[in-house]
Amino acid sequence: MDNLIEKITTLNLGKVEENVLLSKYTTYKVGGKARAIVYPKNISSLTRLIKLLKSEEVTYKVIGNGSNLLFSEKKYDGIIIKLSEFDEIKFLNGNKIRVGAGYPLMKLSSLAAKKGLTGLEFASGIPGSVGGSVFMNAGAYKSDMGYIVKEVKVLTPDLKVITLENKEMNFHYRSSFLQKHPNFICLEVVIKLEKGNKQAIEEVIKERRKRRMESQPLEYPSAGSVFRNPTGMFAGEMIENLGLKGKKIGGAMVSKKHANFIINYKKATSNDIKKLIDLVHDEVLEKYKVDLKIEQEFVNWE
């Protein structure tokens, strides 16, 4: 692995950080060490990096802001690829935005509001990157990325750059083409918004921020909603009805504010969080016969 990292550095494929604590790169603030994180500078660097990793048969994982990932405490003996450098943004024809996959979604929502563009207000409290949000089809307030994304530039498994139109992305509730084809990597997105009243847009964002502060445990590390809402039901309500608010395992706890949040309230480990997720899932399954879909992705648990 030392030789590989030296090669990545020599080829100038991006900044390299070695032996990194993954707790710094996930919103749960947990996880073991990664052998290295690489920050490719552009599409060419990313393509060359992945080609090298494949030729060396080295495990790798592309991440955004780590807002839906739960890494185990084990060492990730591979390469983490972080697309933070993919952060270019350009406004097109007044109401379209071309934006890199590494751009923070909340920042984009705020910028759109300042430009008087409406359609991204739902994203003002979603802590993911643009690429991760497209992957998850992140949403809130009865809207999601599928409503505003026009096209997505991706890197295919055979390292070709292609563009997928909205209909090809197969957006559904918290789902997309990319989720079902994880070897495709989101590089850049074009979104289309509408002209709106700047003051009205900012008022909506302000009101929703207030509501989030009151109803969500934003003062603790978490990954947002743990479970997807089943059709016609609310996961949080089901969990609350089972009396699981405040349930603890180690340093992890089901939030007392919102039962669909699990928080790292006291130096939790990945194992604490995963055990609590599994416990809540199993109790809901036993009581309601509903197999809740977990939003978070478990990485390096094999």
pLDDT in tens, 31-40: 999 999 999 9
Mean pLDDT across the chain, nearest whole number? 96
Distances (CA, A) of 265 to 65, 249, 273: 20, 11, 11
Q: Is residue 290 part of a domain?
A: yes
Residues 194 and 93 in one domain: yes
140: CATH:
3.30.465.10
Confidence of residue 302 (pLDDT cuts 50, 70, 90): confident
Catalytic residue among 121, 151, 188, 295: 295
Domain membership of residue 292 (yes or no) is yes
Whether residue 17 lies in the annotated active site: no
Catalytic residue flag (residue 295): yes
* Count of CA atoms in the C-beta half-sphere (13 A) of 192: 9
Range of the domain at 240: 217-299
For residue 121, the SS3 value is: helix
* Annotated catalytic residue, options 45, 176, 225, 255: 225
User: Active-site residue among 174, 208, 212, 228?
Assistant: 174
Clarify whether residues 118 and 140 are in a common domain. Answer: yes
Q: How far apart are CA 46 and CA 60, in angstroms?
A: 12
Domain count, the chain: 3
What pLDDT was estimated at residue 6?
94
pLDDT per residue over 64-100, tens digit each? 999 999 999 999 999 999 999 999 999 998 899 999 9
209 within some domain: no
In 10 A of CB 123, how many CB atoms?
28
Q: What SS3 state is found at 39?
A: strand
pLDDT digit string, tens, across residues 150-176: 999 999 999 999 999 999 999 999 999
| pLDDT exceeds 90 at position 1 | no
Model-wide pTM > 0.85: yes
Per-residue pLDDT tens for 181-198?
999 999 999 999 999 999
